Structures are given as structure tokens and as C-alpha cells.
A = this chain, B = another copy of it.
Amino acid sequence: MTNTSDIRLALSCRVRSTPFSDRVEEAGVSHYSVYNGMVLPAAFGDMEAECEHLKNHVQVWDVSCERQVEIKGPDAAKLVQLMTPRDISKGAINQCLYIPIVDENGCMVNDPVAIKLAEEHYWISIADSDVILYAKGIAAGRGLKVEISEPDVNPLAIQGPKAGELMERVFGETVNAIRFFRGDWLEFQGKRLFVARSGYSKQGGFEVYCDSVSAVPLWDALFTAGADLNVKAGGPNTIERIESGLLSCGNDMELDDTPFEAGLGQFCHLDGDFEFIGKEALLAKREPFRQLRGLKIEGRLPGCRRPWPVQGVGKVTSAVYSPTYGCTVAIAMIDKSHWTPGTKVTVDTPEGPRTAEVCPLPFPPASA
């Protein structure tokens, strides 16, 4: 019998490599995930040590798999709005908007960041599903005046408390002027790259939207400039992201779940005077009967590969052992009857039933 942790990833053109993959592999990546048909570094050997490093230093993450859906043309804003219950009309140029994208049932297609580059020009920086096909389908069905494509844009994330210092060394002091979830075009070796203060951790940092020609030079510049900052290659860290309550589309929510169930109600402007697909369905689902919560599960458990039943009241969708909390931390969809923090539940894990406690997301500080 195979030890599942030893199953290797078969690489091909279909499971795309990124412009950074050579450097990622030279840095010793041990595990890849596959995200939007592209490799995503998941671990470099010791996820707990990497989590600790992320919280104290700075890491460079190849998140090229956050593919961009480029939408240009007179109907660009109309198309973006049709896909999301969030009112995008107030978005400023170079602002990053976290937008739930929903289907005709008001359920989660994706939870990307939409970047408004110009009035008629958006990048949608996607989570793991083919938003480009949804956009193309709607545009073709409606006859919208837009061009939809996947540009040569490969995000590189610089994350951790020393990210600002490292970015300043490479891009200059101007990075400091960029506010959270805003971006600007900054020069790197004669080219202008879009740089946003964003990223899939709560440790602070930036994402650089990089063309493939600039990729290796940018990687090398960051590692040269950051040697004394203890910069390391990394990737979204499952421990840090669950502790921080960062959701993962495809793990924690999918086409069965509404944004309200996913806890994204604040991004749904159902009373707004604008049209989006699934509006009628979502209006009927404003009051969820289940919702994502944190769980602290006793003991050290393996990662969650298939949803674990929460006896009678829900399911665990992500889980990992947290040294900080001294237990397994998880994200779970929990029925209303049991979603109050502090409630005790029982989880059927691969290692048997385990007692767990419902928590808010993000998890309260471990000292609390």
C-alpha cells in the first residue's frame, strides 16, 4: 500500500509550470498543489518551521497560479458586476476588490480579487476555478462588448513582517505609499509592474504582477536584496491561513455554498440598484442556516483530504495541526444550532471521533 504522502505529481504541459518554477525547485520545494491547472508550491519540507519563519521574517511565494482574467472594453464593468453581488461601482483605479462570484443559484463560483486598472479594464485575480469560461459564457450569451483573455501575468507574493523592508530595497520607497488592497505601477529593470499591498496571509506584504520575462530577474533581485533579512522561498502556509481564517475556495466553499454561508455577507449588496446573476436566488438565501466557523480539535491530526463529518451538524473542510494553539485547527461548515463559539461538537476524523470547540474566524489569539 502506498503511503499517500509519497505520491508524486506527474508533470506535463497541461499541469502548467510557472516562470518561477526553476527557482522554486532549486529552492527545494517538496510538495506542489495544483491550482488553476498550474503548480503551486505547498511545502518545502517542514510546514511548521515555514509557518514560524513566515511570522518572523519574509518569504517569496510563486502564486502564478492566481491567473488573471483580463476584461477590456466598453462593457467590462458591466460584465464584472454581472458576476458579483458586491457593488463595484465605487471602485477606484488601482483598487483591489475582493469579490464573491456567484452562479444562477447564488452559490460560490470563485472568490477572486478584481483589480480595476482603468474604467474599461479589469484583471480578476482568481482562486481555483475557470472564471474565464464563466465570463466568456456570460459575455457571449449577452452579446457584451468585451475582450476576455488570460494575459502573461504571474503574481509573486512577498509576505511576512520584513516584506516592506525587502520591497523597499527592490522597488524604492514608493512602495510605502501603497495602502492595503491598493496597487501602483512600479519600475523594475526598466519595466513597470503592478504592485499591490495584498496576499494570502495575515503577516503583511505585497503581490507583484509579473510578466514571464521579468520573473527570474525579480526573484533573483529579491533574494539578493533580502539575504540579510533571512528571505526564503515559501508558499501559502496552511497553518497560518487557517489560524488567520483565510478561506480557500474549493476547500471551504464551492458551488453548493452561498456567500452568506461562507461568511462573506459583507460583500453582498443585495439592496443595491444593480443587476447580477443569481440576485433573485440570493435574496431568498440571505439568512443562512449554516456558516463557516473555526474549530479547535483535540490532538494532532493529519490534513483533511476529504470532508470530515461534524456529527449531525456539519463538516470540516480544512484542518492542520497548529503548534501555536497546541491542537488541530480547522475550518468547518456548521449548522446554526451549533455555530455559537464555545459550543462543543464531535468530529469524525480519520483517526476516530474527536472532541472539538467552535471558534470564530480568524481564531482568537492563543493567549486568550
Q: Once the chains bind, are B1 and A25 in contact (CB under 8 Å)?
A: yes
Known contacts: A7-B31, A34-B15, A250-B14. The answer to whether A129 contacts B130 by CB under 8 A is yes
User: Is A68 in contact with chain B by the CB < 8 A criterion?
Assistant: no
Chain B hits for A291, CB < 8 A: none
Partner of A12, one of B12, B33, B104, B141: B33
Known contacts: A133-B131, A134-B134, A134-B137. The answer to whether A30 contacts B8 by CB under 8 A is yes
Chain B hits for A109, CB < 8 A: 133, 136
- The distance in angstroms between the C-alpha atoms of A253 and B67, with both chains bound, is 18
Chain B hits for A35, CB < 8 A: 14
Q: Give the interface centre of A10, A42, A132, A135 by most chain B CB atoms within 10 Å.
A: A10
User: Is A277 in contact with chain B by the CB < 8 A criterion?
Assistant: yes
Q: Once the chains bind, are A31 and B2 in contact (CB under 8 Å)?
A: no
- The distance in angstroms between the C-alpha atoms of A2 and B5, with both chains bound, is 17
User: Is A139 in contact with chain B by the CB < 8 A criterion?
Assistant: yes
Kindly supply a per-residue 1/0 record for chain A positions 247-284, scoring 1 wherever the CB is within 8 Å of any chain B CB and 0 otherwise: 01111000100000000000000000000011000000
Interface residues of A in 6-49 (CB under 8 A from B): 6-15, 17, 25-26, 28-35, 37, 42-43
User: Is A304 in contact with chain B by the CB < 8 A criterion?
Assistant: yes
User: Is A125 in contact with chain B by the CB < 8 A criterion?
Assistant: no
Total A residues in contact with B, Cβ cutoff 8 Å:
61
Interface residues of A in 128-160 (CB under 8 A from B): 128-142, 150
User: Is A64 in contact with chain B by the CB < 8 A criterion?
Assistant: no
- The distance in angstroms between the C-alpha atoms of A6 and B44, with both chains bound, is 12
Residue of B nearest to A32 (CB): B7
Partner of A42, one of B10, B30, B304: B10
Q: How close is A59's CB to chain B, nearest CB, in angstroms?
A: 17
Q: How close is A105's CB to chain B, nearest CB, in angstroms?
A: 9
Chain B hits for A28, CB < 8 A: 1-2
Chain B hits for A9, CB < 8 A: 7-9, 31-34
Chain B hits for A11, CB < 8 A: 4, 7, 303, 305
Q: How close is A151's CB to chain B, nearest CB, in angstroms?
A: 12
Q: Which residues of A contact B (CB under 8 A)?
A: 1-2, 4-15, 17, 25-26, 28-35, 37, 42-43, 103-104, 109, 128-142, 150, 248-251, 255, 277-278, 303-307, 317-318
Give 17 A-B contacts (CB < 8 Å), ordered by A residue.
Answer: A1-B28, A7-B25, A9-B32, A10-B33, A12-B304, A13-B305, A13-B306, A13-B317, A13-B318, A14-B250, A34-B34, A129-B130, A130-B130, A137-B138, A137-B141, A140-B278, A142-B142
**5 closest pairs, A vs B, by CB?**
A141-B141, A137-B137, A14-B250, A10-B42, A130-B130
12 extra interchain contacts, Cβ-Cβ under 8 A, other than A104-B139, A109-B136?
A7-B25, A7-B32, A12-B33, A13-B251, A13-B305, A13-B306, A14-B35, A104-B140, A131-B133, A134-B137, A138-B141, A141-B141
